[in-house]
Amino acid sequence: MNSSANKKALVQERYASIAKSERDSTNSCCSDTACCAPNQSLMAEDYSTFEGYNPEADLALGCGLPVKFAEIKEGNLVVDLGSGAGNDCFVAASIVGNAGRVIGIDFTEAMIERAEQNKNKLKLSNVEFRLGDIESMPIVSNFADVVVSNCVLNLVPNKDIAFSEIFRVLKPGGHFCISDIVLAGDLPEPLKKAAEMYAGCVSGAIKVDDYLKIIEDCGFTNISIRKEKEIVLPEDTLRNYLSDEQMKLLRDSGAAIKSVTVYADKPAKDERNCCEPGNGCC
């Protein structure tokens, strides 16, 4: 099994375990099972004031509020990547209404099952969940008005492919709004390489400038960061991975882990003329 497959298998295993458990503080994206302190406020945001919010669907796995900044409108077709138990999907569904549709994609079967259970309890007819990989979405091209995702793209091994897939499934003139974990500066190697931290949303992250460059290279325009906050990991967590000397170097370097919510448009016309079948750039 190659490195990419190994990482995907690890993430699937971790999130399948979360899907089968009851929600508590250890289910957060950076949970104790992912070798982080069990502190929901570390990354997760408060969804409780949003119309459509359902506590049973909120596993505290996110790091932002992408639906807040996604400019979703009534009647839109929305795709949520890494939809988990359905939290963002149900909030989006309350916005698009019966004239719209929301499709959640997740590659963990247990999460799909849990999301379906939540959907059935809510008796929603405008939400659908599909088992699938973000690097090869089970969505036709030029389909969605809006793509959202919450703390998931950083877990995807090949982000170039993932954003190319987002470009493919969006309609011309559509847009995405994604909350994700990125890095400012250089994190110490022991921290980046820890597989547990990868599943906990940190070590799969890349530098923010590289992240935005991938988005630009895929053809998106009007790229902007709508919200940004620093994620401060507790010192006792860091000491699981770093020596005293490395801790000092980290503090002196100014390196940081950040949550960002990024917005970008797919142009109404792709001037690159490369996104037709067989041209291979998207």
All structural domains of the chain: 3-265 (3.40.50.150)
Q: Output the six-digit token pair for 241.
A: 């991975």
**Residue 56: closest CA among 79, 78, 89, 80:** 89
Closest residue by Cα to residue 187 from 247, 260, 261: 247
Residues 6+ apart with CB under 8 A from 189: none
pLDDT tens digits for range 224-277: 999 999 887 777 777 777 788 878 877 787 788 889 999 999 999 866 655 444
186: pLDDT strictly greater than 50: yes
pLDDT of residue 200: 58
The span from the CA of 15 to the CA of 200, in Å, is 10
221-231 and 256-265: which strand pairing?
antiparallel
Determine whether 12 is exposed, middle or buried from the number of CB atoms within 10 Å of its CB (0-12, 13-18, 19+). Answer: middle
Computed from CA positions of residues 165, 4, 157, 64, in that sequence, does the dihedral angle turn out positive or negative? positive
**Pairing between strand 101-106 and 77-81?**
parallel
What pTM does this model have?
0.85
pLDDT 10s digits, 159-173: 999 999 999 999 999
pLDDT tens per residue, range 107-153: 999 999 999 999 999 999 999 999 999 999 999 999 999 999 999 99
